[in-house]
Amino acid sequence: MGQQGRSEARMRLWHNAASPFARKVRIVARETGLGALVDEVQTLVNPAKPNADLAKENPLVKIPALATPDLGTLYDSAVICEYLDSLNGEAPLFPKAGPERWRALRLQSLGDGILDAAVLLRYEGALRPEALRWADWVSGQWSKVRGGLNELERDCPTWDGRFGIGQITAACVLGYLDFRFPGENWRQPHPALAAWFAKISIRPSVKETVPA
């Protein structure tokens, strides 16, 4: 046994190297020192063709999903990340209480919301038949992405070197935009965020999980 509350039993993470939500979990596993206990299983997902094996673990048929030794399978990324953090006795990535906790959870929700819109845009472009595409819906999703980025730009000067769950989610947002929407050039209108992202991109947990 390691630190207080830490179980040494292995866990199984259903993930995909392209998934920004799964990347949150993979970064948290590394930042909490639990990486060696988490077996990462590459999983293909497609909302138009549900993965039957994954459906047995998560009725929503989404990744990430984490098979735990004591609780069955957990989902979604916010729950899994907080679960892993709870196994780590020191330096929590989720502040335990007070205004810091609500700020961190709001920042995570902001990043998750940007990702929801960006992942839907990806499905729209890559999966939906051209004849069924809806331009107003696409531009509505881009408004969420860009509005969310503006808020990250405004907020990031307050982060003060912290790399908790909110910042981890923000890193996954920016990495996903670079990966799936390289033409978006989010850096130009968001210079503080761009500088922050360059700085945190050298962390091993971030480098080891670059989307592929």
Ligand X SMILES: N[C@@H](CCC(=O)N[C@@H](CS)C(=O)NCC(=O)O)C(=O)O
Footprint of ligand X on this chain (CB under 6 A)?
A: 19-21, 45, 47, 61-64, 76-78, 112, 119
Give 45 or 138: the residue with its C-beta nearer to ligand X: 45
Distance, C-alpha 122 to centroid of its chain: 16
Least distance between ligand X and beta carbon 66 (Å): 10
C-beta closer to ligand X: residue 1 or 52: 52
**In the complex, least distance from residue 52 CB atom to ligand X, rounded to whole angstroms:** 13
Q: Report, in Å, the least distance between residue 77 CB and ligand X.
A: 3
Nearest distance, CB of residue 90 and ligand X, angstroms = 25
Question: Which residue type occupies 152?
Answer: L
Q: How far is the CB of 13 from ligand X (least distance, A)?
A: 12
Q: Residue 3 or 123: which CB sits closer to ligand X? A: 123
Nearer to ligand X, 26 or 62 (CB): 62
- The residue (of 34 and 172) whose beta carbon lies closer to ligand X is 172
